[in-house]
Amino acid sequence: MMSIKPKAGHIQATPTRTRMLNINRTPPLIALCLSLSLASACSQTQNNKATLAQTPSVSAMSLNIYGHATMPKAAKQYAQIIHQHAPDVIGIQEGVQDWKIGPGLPTDYSRAQTLAGALGSCWQHQHQIFINTCQGNQFINAARFDLSDGINATRTGESAVISKHGLTFRVINVHWDHENQSTRDANARETIAEINNFEKKNLPLILLGDFNMPCQQLESMRKEANLTLLIDAGIDCIFANNFTGQGMQFPAPPSDHPGVKINVTRQLN
């Protein structure tokens, strides 16, 4: 038979084969590694979800009770506000007599004690930090730390380690000076030192209080102590470390401050 030659300038098409990966022909060791990697990733995802589901949430509140003007007569009103928002922990300010008492730490916490009585049997307090024991909270320890005093007010910070259903966390409550910026600068340095010098640095932390300066102006403290600002209500602020969540503010009459509150869970790495 006569053979047909391709014309000049034309390329004769050659059938091609598409080579597909046959997973059944993957070397056994590689297949095993792939299977183990996928299993490990799935297991880690499931573990994270399980941990998140088992980690209790924490709600924390801060309130300046305008003590010299409204306490003790307003104790029941403040207790009603606190019951309405049902926090696990609350730090109050002006629950202590600190006005023109001279150097040293305050000793008269009668305003805080009156509020504790109005709150009822579910509540315990150490100085001005209160916990709701009926929601599973327990004090592990509590202490005060010295802050530089203002012209008239003796300033003191408070710190507590609290446990809730297996989650241990730390709360710091502060009331910085309102009369002098240099004193507030000193209060900031002292608060940072209290945060950073704590021996158990991995504990989740909530820092709350009346800072007597705008929350947005506390950026250097926030960065140095590795904090996240969760609620900004002017000078009433709540920061957190190793917690994730959100905050809110609300009227709290007869106080001249709003109440602030956060709802958070432990931040997973």
User: pLDDT tens, 45-78?
Assistant: 555 454 445 689 999 999 999 999 999 999 999 9
Residue 11 domain-assigned (yes or no) = no
Are 31 and 104 part of one and the same domain? no
Are residues 155 and 147 in contact, defined by beta-carbon separation less than 8 angstroms? yes
Is the confidence at residue 111, as pLDDT, over 80?
Answer: yes
Dihedral sign computed on CA atoms, order 105, 110, 116, 120: positive
Ranges of beta strands (E only) in 65-148 are 89-93, 123-126, 129-132, 137-146
CATH of residue 241's domain is 3.60.10.10
Average pLDDT of the segment spanning 12-25: 46
Q: Are residues 164 and 35 part of one domain?
A: no
- pLDDT one-digit tens code per residue, 121-174: 999 999 999 999 999 999 999 999 999 999 999 999 999 999 999 999 999 999
Both 84 and 44 in a single domain? no
The CA radius of gyration of the chain, in Å to the nearest whole number, is: 30
In the chain, how many domains are there?
A: 2
Residues 62 and 50 in one domain: no
Structural domain harbouring 30 = 25-54
- For residues 46 and 119, state if they share a domain: no
Mean pLDDT of the chain: 87
Please tell me the distance from the alpha carbon of residue 267 to that of residue 44, in angstroms, as a whole number.
Answer: 16
- Using H for helix, E for strand and C for coil, what is the string for 120-131? CCCEEEECCEEE
* Whole-number pLDDT of residue 71: 98
**9 falls within a domain:** no
